[in-house]
């Protein structure tokens, strides 16, 4: 059986991926895996090699950082998870629930929202929101209103559109954390860039993570090339529109870039519960299930639908139980070889994937820059990465 290193060396050598960064840490500090494979850019020079300080687009891996910021404000008494956020984000609060369309006139059928727009719902993708590209009704509404999915330079312009269901009654992957980031900005009077720097990055000596990598020459010079899968199964530079194109806001659900050494500092802080980002009791709450019974049923139905779950980066066996914590999906049943109950997992669109297993004392992250998300070759590599981290940890236990 090929080792983890051999798997990724082969994947880069045969052109399945351009490059990858893998980092893993345990609670004791004895296990410290740090490897890079392949290249960050197309080219043959030394400068094109993938390194641990290569800057990657995090996409949805940004969400974890924003959720930490929100919980810091909850700790400070400036926010409450169960408060209605309508006064802070009225642009979202005024949105109605989209029920469907009149098949005679083609007009959208809308009704007033009745449930509160709780902060907890925004963090757990149960606030009624959905990404337009993932929801056929919202796609149709967007076409009628000349609103292309993922268009608009600000959070409000991009994501102020009708709800897909009443808050707290369903589940759907969504821009709820982008709205939560806007709440952080309005409550503190700071941009997310500024807030993150002072309250998350400085305490952990993080220097590479930013919403504006091209404004920092030292960071821009380390950016990895975004790649795309070709029809023949190879890779090429990605030429299409990207989620950060034209952004004027700090998009807390998708907008940050940075190196994985710095991202690992965040994962490790949560793993060891060192109190640098969150109080110990708040960090414990971070890893507790948060969904209502109705939302959990909806989440389970989605995960058990092969067509719907296949867009998520990572492996989500349908025979396992899941919920959502305050920063990612929560595994609610023990895996045989990986994923203890309570493990938190999430990902980023260009095939990034991270997990924190506090029961086993392990956290890890893998970063690629490859589209589409959940590309089959990348999915297999992510699965082997996750299994490999547990195997390597086990082989080093004294």
Q: What is the mean pLDDT of residues 17-35?
A: 97
**Rg over CA atoms, the chain:** 20
Q: Which residues are registered as beta bridge partners of 109?
A: 100
Write out pLDDT tens, residues 241-262.
999 999 999 999 999 999 999 9
What predicted TM-score, i.e. pTM, was given to this entire model? Answer: 0.97
On the question of pLDDT at 1 being above 80, the answer is no
The band of 397, judged by pLDDT with boundaries at 50, 70 and 90, is very low
How far apart (Å, rounded) are the C-alpha atoms in residues 341 and 288? 11
Dihedral angle computed from the Cα positions of residues 228, 7, 61 and 152, in that order, rounded to the nearest 10 degrees = 0
Place of tokens 């493990």: 343
- The gap between the terminal CA atoms of the chain, to the nearest Å, is 24
Q: What is the mean pLDDT of residues 375-391?
A: 97
Write out pLDDT tens, residues 285-342.
999 999 999 999 999 999 999 999 989 999 999 889 999 999 999 999 987 778 999 9
What is the predicted pLDDT for the residue at 398?
29
Write out pLDDT tens, residues 224-242.
999 999 999 999 999 999 9
What is the predicted pLDDT for the residue at 14?
96
What is the predicted pLDDT for the residue at 45?
86
Task: Find out whether the peptide bond into 350 is cis, omega within 30 degrees of 0.
Answer: no
What is the predicted pLDDT for the residue at 395?
78
Tell me what the pLDDT averaged over the chain comes to.
Answer: 96
60 catalytic per annotation: yes
Q: Are 385 and 22 in contact (CB under 8 A)?
A: yes
Q: At what angle do helices 4-13 and 376-396 cross, to 10 degrees?
A: 150
On the question of pLDDT at 349 being above 60, the answer is yes
Q: Among 57, 60, 126, 174, which one carries the catalytic annotation? A: 60
What is the predicted pLDDT for the residue at 133?
84
What is the predicted pLDDT for the residue at 394?
86
């Amino acid at each position: 059986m090929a080792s983890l290193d051999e798997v990724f060396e082969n994947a880069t050598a045969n052109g399945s991926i351009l490059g990858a960064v893998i980092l893993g840490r345990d609670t004791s500090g004895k296990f410290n895996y740090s490897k890079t494979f392949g290249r960050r850019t197309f080219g043959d020079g030394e400068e094109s090699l993938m390194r641990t300080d290569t800057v990657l687009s995090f996409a949805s891996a940004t969400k974890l950082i924003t959720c930490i910021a929100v919980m810091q404000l909850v700790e400070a008494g400036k926010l409450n998870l169960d408060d209605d956020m309508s006064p802070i984000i009225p642009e979202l609060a005024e949105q109605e629930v989209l029920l469907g369309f009149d098949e005679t006139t083609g007009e959208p059928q809308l009704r007033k929202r009745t449930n509160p727009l709780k902060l907890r719902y925004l963090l757990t993708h149960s606030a009624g929101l959905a990404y337009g590209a993932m929801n056929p009704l919202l796609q149709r509404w967007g076409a009628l209103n000349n609103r292309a999915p993922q268009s608009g330079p600000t959070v409000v312009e991009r994501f102020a559109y009708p709800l897909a269901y009443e808050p707290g009654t369903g589940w759907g992957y969504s821009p709820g954390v982008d709205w939560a980031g806007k709440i952080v900005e309005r409550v503190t009077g700071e941009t997310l860039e500024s807030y993150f720097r002072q309250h998350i990055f400085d305490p952990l000596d993080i220097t590479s993570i930013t919403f504006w990598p091209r404004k920092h020459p030292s960071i821009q010079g380390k950016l990895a090339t975004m790649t795309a899968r070709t029809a023949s199964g190879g890779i090429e530079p990605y030429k299409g529109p990207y989620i950060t194109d034209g952004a004027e806001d700090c998009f807390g659900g998708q907008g940050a870039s940075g190196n994985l050494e710095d991202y690992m500092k965040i994962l490790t802080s949560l793993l060891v519960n060192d109190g640098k980002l969150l109080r110990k009791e708040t960090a414990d709450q971070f890893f507790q299930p948060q969904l209502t019974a109705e939302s959990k049923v909806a989440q389970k139905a989605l995960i058990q639908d092969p067509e719907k779950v296949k867009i998520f980066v990572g492996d989500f066996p349908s025979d396992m139980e899941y919920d959502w914590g305050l920063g990612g999906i929560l595994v609610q049943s023990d895996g045989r070889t990986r994923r203890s109950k309570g493990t938190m997992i999430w990902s980023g669109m260009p095939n990034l994937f991270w997990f924190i297993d506090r029961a086993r004392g392990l956290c890890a992250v893998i970063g690629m820059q490859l589209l589409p998300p959940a590309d089959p070759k990348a999915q297999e590599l992510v699965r082997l990465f996750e299994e490999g981290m547990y195997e390597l940890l086990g082989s080093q236990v004294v």
